[in-house]
Amino acid sequence: MTSSTAWLTQEAHDRLKKELDDLVAQRPVIAAEINDRREEGDLKENGGYHAARDEQARQEERIRKIQELLRNAEVGVRPADDGVVEQGMQVTISYDGDDDDQETFLLGNREEGAHGSLQVYSPQSPLGAAILGATPGENREYLLPNGRTQKVTVVAATPFAG
C-alpha cells in the first residue's frame, strides 16, 4: 500500500459513498437557493446570497475530498498479521521514559475514526510516519510541534477488526 493509498473498512467506504451521494443530490437545492437570493437585489449587501455561496463552496470542497479519498482507497483489505506497522493496523505504543503511558490507536484514514471510539492517526502524521514498518519492541522517534523529539516503542500491531 503506498502512502497516497487510503485504507478504509467497507463500513467507512459505504458511509462515505452515501455522504457523497447525498451531497451531490443537494447540488440543485443549493443552486436554486443561490438563484433565489440573487433575485433579491443588490449582491453586495445580500447576506443570504453570500451565505448560500459559502455553503456551496463548503459542499463542493467536501465532495472533492470524498471523491479523492474513494478514488485512492484500499477497501476492506486486511493487512497481514505479521506485527509490522502499516495502514489498517491497531497499534499500541509506549512513550519513552514511561512504560505505563501507553496509547492504542488505528493507523489509517481519519474518516475511519469518524464514528468510533478508537483514536486514528494518519500514516502521514509525524507519529504515523515514524512508526510505519516498525515491529513490536522497536524504538522510533518523531518531531513534536514544539520542536522537541518524542521517542516511542511499538508494543503491538495487529490488523484492525473494525
Task: Tell me the mean pLDDT in the region 112-128.
Answer: 82
CATH number of the domain encompassing residue 29: 1.10.287.180
37-91 residue pLDDT tens: 888 777 777 888 888 899 999 999 999 999 998 998 888 777 788 889 998 899 9
Cα–Cα distance list, 103 to 2, 81, 95 (Å): 25, 20, 8
Res 108: pLDDT: 85
Res 114: pLDDT: 58
Residue 81 lies in a domain: no
Res 115: pLDDT: 56
Q: What's the pLDDT band for 7 if we cut at 50, 70, 90?
A: confident
Q: Are residues 10 and 70 in the same domain?
A: yes
Q: How many domains does the chain have?
A: 2
Res 88: pLDDT: 87
Res 113: pLDDT: 63
Q: Are residues 69 and 13 in the same domain?
A: yes
Q: Are residues 14 and 52 in the same domain?
A: yes
Residue 150 lies in a domain: yes
Residue 137 lies in a domain: yes
121-158 residue pLDDT tens: 989 899 999 999 999 999 999 999 999 999 999 999 99
Q: Which of 28, 47, 75 is the last residue of a domain?
A: 75
Q: Are residues 68 and 13 in the same domain?
A: yes
Instruction: Return d(Cα 101, Cα 131) in angstroms, integer.
Output: 17
158 phi and psi angles, rounded to 5 deg: -130, 155
Residue 154 lies in a domain: yes
Q: Domain span at residue 62?
A: 6-75
Res 11: pLDDT: 82
Whether the CA torsion 125, 127, 128, 133 is positive or negative: it is positive
Give the residue with greater pLDDT, 109 vs 92: 92
